[in-house]
Structure 1
Amino acid sequence: EGLWEHHAPTTPGGLRGVLCRLLETARVKPCFGVRVDGVVVRGEEVHVKGTARKSCANADVGTTVSQFSEFLEVYDCVVFCIPAPDVLEIKGLQKYLSSESLHVLKNVRYDRRMCEAHFFSEKMRPALKALMQRNVEMKVNDINNKLQYIAWQDQKWYHGISERNPSPPCAVVVHGPPDCSLEPLGDALDSTLSSLTGMAANDIAACRVFSKTIPWKVAQMVTPMEAVVGNPPTAPLWQCLVGGNGKIVLAGDFMTHSSYLGCIASADAAARAVVKTMICHRTEVVT
């Protein structure tokens, strides 16, 4: 309990604020919208092939459309911070990993959950504010056990009413219980909020502006590496996987434990692995 606690409201902007600060300090430019389909290690280079997606506004219908193009880039080292099942789908990657690494990737397990974002009109804000107060999240159990968790996004990114946005919607993110049937959560949310706030479920539904559903078929890690490998290395701790002569690094909470701390520990190990690889290869080139 508490290992997935949000960084808000103690941290301005929540986890997003933390990440923005890290990017600002690191002086790196992230590249979004790229899905890696395959990798090839050629000498000192890692060739990455994938698909790049760019969203463009469609003024005619007032929506956005996605444009796809081929992505080809060459890197000195590549770190994959994705769930184990996604790693196994990348073409060519498995041949650079040891049998023990593949054993870990094929046997760690995740549960599945339904996640939804619900946007309500300004009319819902007083009721949600009274319910959540200064809390960001709330664990609940609705009558049908379809809802487990509510997160109020106002505490993360709401900065008040402005001329450009005179009546911003208030957003709520909800999670279903693990290994659920991945059914929509809207009705369960309305009934749960009704019992917690005293508002009629129909009135709550009438305040809904928009909702988005994300079926997490790979959600929270439940069987980590330590449950798969009998005696994992401890000096140093085995917190990431390295292959391809150090050019391929795999990080994720499946190597540690399911929490923000587990993610950070694996990410730190991956960063150290990259530094080690770059130093070793630079020394070999100079020699």
Structure 2
Amino acid sequence: MSTDVLLSFPAWLRLREAADAAARADGLVEVVRRRLPAAGPIVLHDLGSGTGSMLRWLAPRLPGPQHWILYDRDPELLAHATAGTVTSADGAPVSVATRCTDLTRLTAADFAGAALVTASALLDMFTAEEVERVVAACAAADAPTLLMISVTGRVRLTPAHPLDAQVEAAFNEHQRRTVDGRRLLGPDAVDATVAAFARHGVAVQASASPWRLGAAQGELAAEWFRGWLTAACEQRPELAAPAAGYARRRLADAAAGRLGVVVEHLDLLAGG
């Protein structure tokens, strides 16, 4: 398989930002807009903010003024997230504060006064217990919750290759791995989150938000593929030998603009 070095995490977040923006379900945002308080400023809490892609995407789609509170465990990522100026849909100012903390320990008190809680590409890194705690905090705060770009485990590559299904299965097993005693939910996180909200009496709307990568997204497709295959081979070392030729072919297709990738995600709006 490829020995190319994978991008740093901040670089990966920057590379994927446009694909996330194109995939997110605008229809759920329209539901949110109709239910926001009439008087501002509105307060929004973003979990696992990374470099701030959700802020940059969502703030201009909502009225202002707005105050965002960004949460992450990485202070360097939070520094990236606050760089630059963002305005709302009506040109009103958007202010930003950051909190470097463990997301899974947040409570309803942390979300007091929130008009909306958001997250993007986060749920798969939680355990079942952690999902329950986050959902309980949102439900107790009576805060609508918009959770976007959550993986489902389903991937389609074109042209098809006999190894695709094995790599997909191994990658999904890797996403469900145990890390420091924590068994991650991976692609099971969406169902676990919907069930957790249901236990709290909160209805959830779901909308598909797939990545559709073609020739124009060749760099992202290649980087995604490297990470996908690397994780699969870590999970199933026996894949490493056949993966070498597979990687060369797939990366050559990506470089030539021949590789098509669809990565399925779901967006969830709870309590909206």
- TM-score, normalised on structure 1? 0.26
Higher strand share: 1
For the pair shown, which has the larger CA radius of gyration, 1 or 2?
A: 1
Higher helix share: 2
- TM-score, normalised on structure 2? 0.27
